[in-house]
Amino acid sequence: METYDHTLLGERVRRARMRLGWNQKRLAEATGIPQGNISRIERGRNTEYSGAAGWTSSQLLKIGYTLSVKTGMVEEVHGNQR
């Protein structure tokens, strides 16, 4: 099973969110993902949210879609882990 860099993923999410001028609360409201979980993923602590596997692909894609970033941003970091 491949792993991915939680810190890199979190940094990419944070940058994309900030590019839109959004705070974490606004992203949480737009995605339906609790703000505390958005904070954890941005800090690279996303394994706390959904267990050892980290965030699910569908959650990552929802964040990517909401922030209008290419899904490759998610797939590049997330790899084949599902």
Domains of the chain: 6-78 (1.10.260.40)
Residues 38-74 have pLDDT tens digits of: 888 888 875 554 543 456 677 788 898 999 886 565 5
Q: For residue 31, how far is the Cα from the chain centroid?
A: 11
Whole-model pTM: value is 0.72
- Contact between 16 and 69 under an 8 Å Cβ cutoff? The reply is yes
pLDDT at site 1: 38
Provide mean pLDDT across the span 12-29.
95
The torsion angle over the Cα atoms of residues 42, 46, 61 and 13, rounded to 10 degrees, is 10
Task: Kindly tell me if the per-residue pLDDT of 76 is higher than 80.
Answer: no
